[in-house]
Amino acid sequence: MHTKRTDLDVTRDARDFGPIESVCEHFESACKAGEPPAIEELLLEWEEPERSKLLSELLQIELSYASEKGETLVSHIFEGRFPEHRQVVKDAFERWLSGRKSDAGTDIDDTLVMESHFGKLRLHAQGGLGMVFRAEDQELSREVAVKFIRTNLADDSESRDRFRLEAEITSRLEHPGIVPVYGLGDTGKGELFYAMRFIQGQTLDDSIARFHKGNESDDETVTDRERRYRELLERFVAVCKTMAYAHNRGIVHRDIKPENVMLGRYGETIVIDWGLAMHVGRQGVFKQSGEMTLMPSSGNSSGDSWGGTPAYMSPEQATGTLELTPASDIYSLGVTLYKILVGTVPFTGTLHELRSKVIRGEFKRPTSLNKKVSKAVEAICLKAMQSTPSDRYETALELARDVENYLADAPVTAYEDPLSRKLARWGRRHRTLSQSVLIGLLLLTIAGITATAVFSNLRSEAVSLQQSEHESRKQSLSVSARFAARTIADKIDIRLRILESMAENPQLHDLLRQVNLRPEDEASRVPLQAWFDAQRAKHVHIEDHAWSLFASDGSQVGRCPQYQDEEKRIPYGSLKQNYNYRDYFHGRLSDFETGPPNTQSHVSVAMESTNGGLIVVFSTPIKSEAEPSPLGIISMAIELGQFADLAVSLPPGQKVLLVDTRRYYMKLADSDEKGPSGEGLLLHHPDLSSVATPDEMPHLEQSIVKYMRDMKPDSLRIDNLLPENYRDPLAAVDEGAPLAAFAPIILTARPSDSDVYKTGWFVIIQQQ
C-alpha cells in the first residue's frame, strides 16, 4: 500500500536529496500509485535553468503514464499550463513521440544481414557479362534466377563495376516491366551474383520468329495471324512504357532489342539486361514527369557510347557521341518495331558495313519487304528511326501512344491518312446507327464528300502534272543540301567533342606537364603514349587517318597508330618532329607561320602529311586552370577522299560533295618551299577515292566559290541552287551540267563567335 505524499514533501526531499533525478524518481513513484502531485507545484522552488530541465523530465513521466491510461494528449493544452515554457513543452512532446515510435517495434539494429541459400542451379542463359542460372531459394521454396559475373571477368574492376551497376539499376527501377531483384551477393571466391525473379516464358525475338514463320504456313487462319500480330504490337507498347519510366528516372538502356525482352506466360513483358545502362541528365519533358532521378551509387557505366548491339544501335551510338539521350533508346525501339513488322533487322553486313549503314540511314522501308504492313505503322517505325535524334518521337510514351492509336483504329501523329481511309474509319465507328433515314443521309453525304474529294484530287493532279520535273528536282536538291549540311555539322561536332573530352582529362595534364618539363626525355613519353593508346581504343569506330598529341612547343609527342610497321615496331617518322608551323597547331590557316598553341578548337585547311597523303585535321587545345597557356594540342586527321563516314543518306541519283572555300597555303612535305594555294578545294566526292599529291587536288571554279561565299546563311531557303555554269570538277568533259544545290556547314551547337562555328566548308548536292 502506497502512502500519500504532499507536494511539499516531494520538493523538500528533492532539495535535500540533491539532483533532478531524485524529484523524478519520487514523481514516477507517485504516478505509479495513481496519486501524482501537480508538476506546477514541484517547479516552484527551482530556478532556471534547472527548472526547465526538471519540467522536461517530469513531462516525460506524466505523458507516459497518461498515455497508458488512454488519455488524449495534446501539446497546446500543456503549453497553456506552462505558458512561460512553451518551447520546453514542444520539445518534450517531440521527444516523447519519438520515443513512442522507437518503442513501437522491437529493439532492432540499424543494419541487418539476411542470408540466402540457393540450390539446384541449372544454366539458363548467358551473355557477355554474366551467366543466368535457374535455382531454388531453399529458405522460401521458390524458383529464382541467379546471375553470376563470368569467371574470366570476376577480377576485372571495370566488369565488376558494370555488374554492380546493372544489379543496382535493375533493383531500383520499380516497374512491372522490370524484373524484381531480391539481393546482391558474393560467392566468397570473389564472384558477384544477384538473385531475381525467374520469368517463365520466351523472348520477344522468339515470338517474332515464330510469327513470321507461321505466316509462311497455310495451317494458320487469317484471324489467328491478326491476333498474334496485335499481341506483338501490344507487347511492344508495354516495352515502350517501361522505357518511358526508365527515361523519366534518368536512365538510358543502350541495348534495347527483342532478345532483351522476356514475355511471361501470363502476360508479363519484362525488359532485361541493364548491363550497359547509364545515367543521363534529365531535361525537358523527362524532368517534368514527376519521377525522381535515379543516381546510381555505383557510379555510371564505365563503357563509352559505343556499347550496344550494332544492328539496333542509334547513329549517335555508332558515331561514338558522348552525349546519349533517351532518343537513342527510341531509335532502338524503332528497330525493334521494324523487326516485328518484317521479321528481320534493317541493317546487315560486316561490323564496318553495318555501322556505316546505320550512320547513313541506309535500309529498306518495311513495306518494300512486307506488302501487308500498314502505311500508318510503317510511318511510326520510320519516325522512331530518324537519323537525327530531334526528328524522332520526343518520348517513348509518345511512340507507345501512336502504336496504341493504330491498334485502336485511330489516327496516328506520324501519318496523315488519305480521305478514303478517314471515311472508312468513320464508318466503322458508327455501325450502330439503325435508322434507315440517317443511314441514307450518311451515304449521300459520304458520296458527296467522296465526289468532291475525287474532283479535287483530279484538279490537284492536273495542276501537279503542269509543274515541271525540273522544279521538283530543284526542291528536292535544296532540301537535301540543307539536311546534309546539318548532318555533317553534327558529325564534325561529335569528333571535336571527343577531342575536347580527352583534352580535359587531368591525367593527360599531368603526363603532358612532365613531357613539357623534360622535352628530350623519351622515358616521359612512354606513359603518355600508353594513355593515348587506351583512350584511342575507346573510339575505334570513328573513321580517321591518325590521332596526334603535341607538346606546347609543337613537338609531336604521341601518335595513334604509333607504328607504321607493327611487327618490326618501326614508329612513324612524324614523332618527335616539331609542327608549330601547322595550321592545326596555331589556327592561322597557313603552314608558313609559327606560333603558340591555338586556344580554341579548330578545323584545319588541307595540308600534305609528313607521313604521306593529303589531310585535314580537327584539333583542340589541352588547357588546365593551373596554367595560363595551353599545355599542348590533341588532334584527329582525315585523308582527303576518305570522308565516307561523313556521308549522308540521300535520294537515289543524288551525289554529295564536300568543299572547303577557305584560302589555304600549303607547305610541301620535307621542304620549305611553298606548295599549291587556293580555295574551293574538293574534300569529298563519290568518285574521289584518294588524293596522294597536291597536284591531284581538284577545285571548284573560282566564280562558284565566290557565289557560295557571298550567299548569306540566313538567305538559304529554297533558292540555294548553284548557277547554271556550275560543273562537276571530276566529270568528263562532254558530260552535261548537273542541277546542284548547296548549304554551308555551320556548327550551330557552338557559340557564334567560336573558331569552328562557321567551318568554311560547304555541301553540294548534285544530280544529272
Q: Is the pLDDT of residue 311 over 70?
A: yes
Q: What is the pLDDT of residue 100?
A: 66
Instruction: Report d(CA 27, CA 36) in Å as an integer.
Output: 6
Instruction: Report d(CA 346, CA 363) in Å as an integer.
Output: 5
Pull the grid cell for residue 248: 523519366
Q: What is the pLDDT of residue 359?
A: 84
Q: What is the pLDDT of residue 93?
A: 85
Average pLDDT over residues 43-55: 86
Q: Is the pLDDT of residue 147 over 80?
A: yes
Q: Is the pLDDT of residue 19 over 90?
A: no
Q: Is the pLDDT of residue 765 over 80?
A: yes
Neighbouring CB atoms inside 10 A of 720's CB total 23
Q: Is the pLDDT of residue 466 over 60?
A: no
Mean pLDDT of the chain: 80
Weakest-pLDDT range from 159-173, 343-357, 408-422: 408-422
Percent of the chain's residues with pLDDT above 70: 79
Q: Is the pLDDT of residue 698 over 60?
A: yes
Q: How far apart are the first and last CA of the chain?
A: 117
**How is 522-553 classified by DSSP, letter by letter?**
GGGHHHHHHHHHHHHHTTTTS--SEEEEEETT
Residues taking part in catalysis: 255
Residue labelled with grid coordinates 535553468: 49
Comparing 437 with 761, the larger pLDDT belongs to 761
**How is 580-595 classified by DSSP, letter by letter?**
TTSHHHH-SS-SS---
Average pLDDT over residues 489-514: 89
Contacts 24+ apart (CB under 8 A), 501-510: 501/322, 502/535, 502/634, 503/620, 503/621, 503/622, 503/623, 503/634, 505/535, 507/531, 508/622, 508/634, 509/622, 509/624, 509/626, 509/631
Q: Helix, strand, or coil here: 193?
A: strand
pLDDT in tens, 640-655: 766 655 556 667 778 8
Pull the grid cell for residue 719: 533558292
The pTM of the full predicted model, rounded to 2 decimals, is 0.49
Q: Is the pLDDT of residue 282 over 60?
A: no
Residue type, 562: Q
Comparing 538 with 60, the larger pLDDT belongs to 60
Q: What is the pLDDT of residue 689?
A: 64
Percent of the chain's residues with pLDDT above 90: 25
DSSP assignment, residue 606?
P
Average pLDDT over residues 460-470: 53
pLDDT band for 286, please (50, 70, 90 cuts): low
Q: Is the pLDDT of residue 447 over 50?
A: yes
Residue labelled with grid coordinates 519520487: 26
Give every CB contact of residue 447 below 8 A, 6+ residues apart in sequence: none
pLDDT band for 633, please (50, 70, 90 cuts): very high
Q: What is the pLDDT of residue 288?
A: 47
Q: What is the pLDDT of residue 513?
A: 92
Q: Report the run of H or E that residue 194 belongs to, with start and end.
A: strand 192-197
Average pLDDT over residues 707-723: 70
Pull the grid cell for residue 511: 603526363
Residue type, 495: R
Average pLDDT over residues 62-80: 75
pLDDT in tens, 600-612: 999 988 888 877 7
Instruction: Report d(CA 49, CA 42) in Å as an integer.
Output: 15
Q: What is the pLDDT of residue 574?
A: 83
Comparing 113 with 103, the larger pLDDT belongs to 113
pLDDT in tens, 358-417: 888 889 999 999 999 999 999 999 999 998 888 899 999 999 999 999 988 888 998 887
Q: Is the pLDDT of residue 683 over 90?
A: no
Q: What is the pLDDT of residue 699?
A: 87
